[in-house]
Amino acid sequence: MMNPSKVMESISIKLNQKLIPDQIQRLQQQIEFMLEIDKLKHILRRTILTDRSREENSAEHSWHIAIAVFLFSEYAQDQNIDWYRVIKILLVHDLVEIDAGDTYCYDHQSRKDQAQREQKAAERIFKILPLDQSRSFRELWDEFENRKTPESKYANALDRFQPFLQNYATKGQIWRENNITRRQVKDRMQPMFDGAPLLWNLVELLIDDAVQKKYLAG
Amino acid sequence: MMNPSKVMESISIKLNQKLIPDQIQRLQQQIEFMLEIDKLKHILRRTILTDRSREENSAEHSWHIAIAVFLFSEYAQDQNIDWYRVIKILLVHDLVEIDAGDTYCYDHQSRKDQAQREQKAAERIFKILPLDQSRSFRELWDEFENRKTPESKYANALDRFQPFLQNYATKGQIWRENNITRRQVKDRMQPMFDGAPLLWNLVELLIDDAVQKKYLAG
């Protein structure tokens, strides 16, 4: 792979002729970021595709929940929110995994230093951007993590809902492989209660159903 | 894989207790759509990841260009547009490939019946949704295809720009394998001139550079 930072270097002189000089470094940083985040496509999650052929990666997951924003918007707890911001939050929320990797939500050992690893990743990755964008991307990530705004509550609800549905649709294959229990899934799904209570009702029923069908330990 | 339409059937009676009855069929259709579109993760494109390890799929591509909407927003020709709509257009624009497959942009043979295949796919896929959403998703797709609104012009520019950058960053591996010429790429990139002229300037320079470096035939 060509080093992202090298891609633009060779042509920056020529660009001087067509762009405002100040814009060149800025554009260089943006392109470097665009190429850097390509790596999210390599981060495998502990969720499988519905045909069970392989694990899902974090770029695919991010796309899927971004579409879910307007597919399920009527179920968001707060209807008076900035939907565009919700999508931006979700498109950005997993970028730190490029360095920090995906942490399985039921793996208590690796969750111990997850926050630390992800903070460090955020430092490096968002710093590739021009300063103003570095800040605004970082803000989107912090907002998701803090789960305080209505936008981030709905975003977190969708981030939990999509892998849940895929687990259910694949008869709990990953749950079974990891001996996951009803209690664990219920705890994990709690943010749905805040962000999308009607979908939480559905999830509660599906959890009961999953236990009955032995997709999930009781 | 469990048939998406079966997922909800078994629990619809229980859901009656917690949801407005009219909502159940609606929610069923939405969940079915959510599971159906998981298939986009299997649609491989003629673009490779920047580390050249494998081809990119259409879900990853859609995520990447959705982020590009706010990463490169300052270069959009029209600054007074509905950015949320641009993202929705891009998240939806490739869904028809679930049935129609990805059509390589330089493959004249398969481009002949591309429109027909994709129309048929749109019919089936968007019909899974409740009627109002079926219409609004279809509208997003039509808007992208027609390239008439400022939102769709910017969306099309990004849809061309991202694979171009990945081709350039991988030293034109796919271009070389397919004997693609400067003329072909320049024609393909034309929508960038309308949607994001400053990025088009960059692309013109990178095309020249790619020819000089033999990533691309002159």
Enter the DSSP assignment of B95.
T
The residue-averaged pLDDT of B13-39 equals: 82
Say whether B40 sits in a helix, a strand or coil.
helix
Mean pLDDT for chain A?
92
Q: Which of residues 66-125 of B touch A (CB under 8 A)?
A: 66-68, 70-72, 83-84, 87-88, 91-92
Q: Give me the residue label for tokens 């997922």.
A: B7
The residue-averaged pLDDT of B149-153 equals: 98
Which chain B residues are Cβ-neighbours of A83 within 8 angstroms? Answer: 84
Contact A165 B42 (CB under 8 A): no
Closest Cα in chain A to B169:
A2
Q: What is the nearest CA distance from A144 to chain B, expressed in angstroms?
A: 16
Which chain B residues are Cβ-neighbours of A42 within 8 angstroms? Answer: 49, 51, 53
Please, which pLDDT band fits residue A47 given cuts at 50, 70 and 90? very high
Whether B24 and chain A come into contact, CB under 8 Å, resolves to no
Q: What is the nearest CA distance from B51 to chain A, expressed in angstroms?
A: 5
**Cα distances (Å, whole numbers) of residue B216 to A7, A12, A152, A215, B202:** 16, 20, 44, 52, 16
Supply the ipTM of this predicted assembly.
Answer: 0.94
pLDDT for residue B181: 97
d(CA A162, CA A168): 10
pTM listed for this prediction: 0.94
Q: Which of residues 30-49 of A touch B (CB under 8 A)?
A: 30-31, 33-35, 37-42, 49
| Phi, psi angles (nearest 5°) of residue B28 | -55, -45
Closest Cα in chain A to B8:
A206
User: Tokens representing B143?
Assistant: 């808007």
Least-confidence region, from A86-90, A180-184, B106-110:
B106-110
Q: How many CB atoms lie within 10 A of CB A138?
A: 17
Contact A18 B70 (CB under 8 A): no
pLDDT above 60: residue A133: yes
Measured at the alpha carbon of residue B51, what is the angle toward residues B45 and B52, in degrees to the nearest 5?
A: 45
Q: How many CB atoms lie within 10 A of CB B163?
A: 20
